[in-house]
Structure 1
Amino acid sequence: MFRTVFAICLFLGLAGCARPAEQSCEADADAMLDMSFAAFDQGPDGWRSLDGSLSCSNYADDVLSEYRSRHGPILGAANVSLLMWHEAQVLALQGDSARALELMKAAEYLDEPEWQKLYREGSIAFLESDMERLQTARDRLSRLPREAILMRPDEPSMPWPPNLDVLDGLISCFGKPYGVAYACRQAPAAL
């Protein structure tokens, strides 16, 4: 009898422990919706903190979508596109390629830089299992001249072109899940 009561108490205690983590994820996500764009997208307490948390990772795509929905009209096309792109990447990492593809394709905007367009095209080709298009996007990206706008004095060794390492990784691990292939590169890059 004691063992049964102990097992029930242990189960109820563990079940109670799971709830605060979920509530904490919701609270963290809700607080993020009031952040500035820079803090939300690039800051240590922004959406990436959810994505990097095993207990909250399923909240990252939702909070990205909600932030975009709430703040979209004041963010501008480039920032809305970036949030859409990050949401698509999170979905791809979660294995939801269909929704990820939808968002990746919708992330295109009028003045999109060529390097970003080629990175997007290569990623879409990977998710569509089209090695030829992926290789073409990668090769075109590798030949782009450096854009002065991306050269920052505080980061003189910033790699050029951006995300070439990611496309190389997608090629190296072609046919594997996006989450595996995204990590198949020389040096990790931020989402």
Structure 2
Amino acid sequence: MKRSCLAASIAVAGLLIFGGLARAEGCAYDRTAMLAMDLDRFDQDASGWRTVGQAPGCFLAGAGLIADYRKAHPNLPLSQADGLRWHEGQLRAMGGDSQAAIPLLANANHDGDATNQAYAEATIAFLRHDRPALIAARQKLSGLPQPADFQAGAAAYKAQTGRELSWPPNLDVVDRLLACFDRPYVEAYGGACSPPR
């Protein structure tokens, strides 16, 4: 719930903090409540960072919120911290700050998963405007063998969410990055261009 602004404010890293209410780029959220959320709710639920980061024009405000959450919760398990780093990096890239996004994305795969690594390489290549590296990462991703348990996991995921999973994950996103190579990340990620057939 948003709270009214107090008279005193402090400017911090592009945010204005009024009591527990933060404002950035016309975006507002209850910072105290957001930072108090458990990780699953903050990262996976529609009431967490997505309420800020997916609002029009609020990518960088959402990235700042995730950064604040990571600082407020320094002892998160590595895989969960990686997920937050990835989402923060994506939001920074969507907000046009590729230089801040790249190190976050590069350091968000400590479990060594090959599909995540190839996807990260593709995303970083796009942000660096390195088409040959993007093509190489796509080839790497598309060539990864499907795990034996993938179909069972995909069926369970569909039963739970109603959405399909295909192998390899995120190949469709990488194809959009290639199709929109000269466009901003937010447009490429969102599918502003049609992938080549």
CA contact (8 A) 1:22 1:56 kept: no
CA contact (8 A) 2:109 2:116 kept: no
> 1:56 offset after TM fit, Å?
4.6
Taking a change above 3 Å as real, the CA distance of residues 54 and 30 of structure 1, as seen in their structure-2 partners, is: farther
CA deviations on 1:113-170 (whole Å, 9 max, x unpaired) are 1100000000000111111111111111112122336814142631221111110000
Structure 1 gaps of 5+ residues are 1-18
- Which structure is higher in helix share? 1
2:187 corresponding residue in structure 1: 180
Q: Deviation above 4 Å: which 4+ runs of structure 1?
A: none
CA contact (8 A) 1:165 1:186 kept: no
Query: Does residue 1:53 correspond to 2:55, yes or no?
Result: yes
Query: Does residue 1:115 correspond to 2:122, yes or no?
Result: no
Q: CA RMSD in A?
A: 2.6
CA deviations on 1:87-114 (whole Å, 9 max, x unpaired) are 01101101011101121122231x2211
Query: Aligned equivalents of 2:57 and 2:177: distance in 1?
Result: 27
1:63 corresponding residue in structure 2: 65
Once structures 1 and 2 are overlaid, which stretch shifts more, 138-147 or 43-52? Answer: 138-147
TM-score by length of 1: 0.77
Which residues in structure 2 correspond to 1:23-42 (within 5 Å)? 25-27=28-30, 29-42=31-44
Structure 2 gaps of 5+ residues are 1-17
Alignment identity in percent? 35
Q: Which has the larger radius of gyration?
A: 1
Query: Aligned equivalents of 1:139 and 1:90: distance in 2?
Result: 25
CA contact (8 A) 2:29 2:52 kept: no
Which residues in structure 2 correspond to 1:52-91 (within 5 Å)? 52-54=54-56, 56-73=58-75, 75-91=76-92
CA deviations on 1:52-81 (whole Å, 9 max, x unpaired) are 2237544201110111112231x2111111
SS in 1 for 2:158: coil
TM-score by length of 2: 0.75
> 1:51 offset after TM fit, Å?
1.3
1:5 corresponding residue in structure 2: none
